[in-house]
A and B are shown apart, each in its own frame.
Chain A
Amino acid sequence: KQEVTQIPAALSVPEGENLVLNCSFTDSAIYNLQWFRQDPGKGLTSLLLIQSSQREQTSGRLNASLDKSSGRSTLYIAASQPGDSATYLCAVRGIQGAQKLVFGQGTRLTINP
């Protein structure tokens, strides 16, 4: 059974810093991995989707990397801003049942002005 872990559970950094959020998964037989952002009381917003054949994906100040063999992904946020404060979740799709997403518990990020 696939398990997804995100460490740390919470992170607080000053504005302007570059930071890395971590995601690990136990079964490397994945189809793709998706990073989401969730603001308090809101739904999830898709940030990046990285296919199993890719090593990284970039969108603006965000860069997601994937090392499938070691079961790890990172989300790099450059020049953090207070508006980046949210919970970040990663989710993986297995090769079996490729429509099913298995989520991590998330990292609650706070950017201090």
Chain B
Amino acid sequence: DAGVIQSPRHEVTEMGQEVTLRCKPISGHNSLFWYRQTMMRGLELLIYFNNNVPIDDSGMPEDRFSAKMPNASFSTLKIQPSEPRDSAVYFCASSLGWGGRADYNEQFFGPGTRLTVL
């Protein structure tokens, strides 16, 4: 299995531009998570989906951020308009699902997208 795939790996953009980050979860995984990592705040959960449905978006910083999961094999995180404070590494992770078994909620992370907003 290729693991969680994220694209692009690096993105440099100018303030005000729209940014779209992409994620392909591990095949067969039913839960998908978007995280942001910064030096100041560490790793923070932004939003997660179960069976393509958003369950908790309380970590999304503001309305400029939106996430979609149109099908089981693809998700996007969009920032519009982008700001310099959005510069961070964005990780996508997936898990089998949820429930009592430990292996169901063990999360597997992608390599991340390093976003720089100038």
What residues make up the interface of A, taking CB atoms closer than 8 Å to B?
A: 31-32, 34, 36, 41-46, 49, 51, 89, 91, 93, 97-106
Cα-based distance from A101 to B105 in the complex (angstroms): 10
Closest B residue, CB atoms, query A43: B109
- Taking CB atoms, residues of chain A closer than 8 Å to B95 are 99
Are B107 and A101 in contact, with the CB atoms below 8 A?
Answer: yes
Given contacts A44-B91, A97-B56, A98-B98, contact A103 B42 (CB under 8 A): yes
**Which residues of B approach A to under 8 Å, CB–CB?**
4, 31, 33, 42-45, 48, 50, 55-56, 91, 93, 95, 98, 102, 105-112, 114
Q: A99 with B55: in contact, given A44-B109, A51-B102, A93-B105 (CB under 8 Å)?
A: yes
Cα separation A100 to B50 with both chains bound (whole Å): 12
A42-B111 in contact (CB<8A): yes
Find chain A residues with CB under 8 A from B33 CB. 99, 101
Closest chain-B Cβ to A15's Cβ sits at a distance in Å of 28
Q: Are B31 and A106 in contact (CB under 8 A)?
A: no
Measured between beta carbons, the chain A residues less than 8 angstroms from B48 are 99-100
Query: Would you call the interface of chain B mostly helix, strand, loop, or mixed?
Result: strand
Report the Cα distance A49→B110, complex, angstroms: 18
* A residues near B43, Cβ cutoff 8 Å: 89, 91, 103
Tell me, in angstroms, the Cα distance from A44 to B37 when the chains sit together: 11
Q: Which residues on the B side are within 8 Å of A41 (C-beta)?
A: 114
Chain A residue at minimum C-beta to C-beta distance from B112:
A43
For A91, the chain B residues whose CB sits under 8 A away are 43
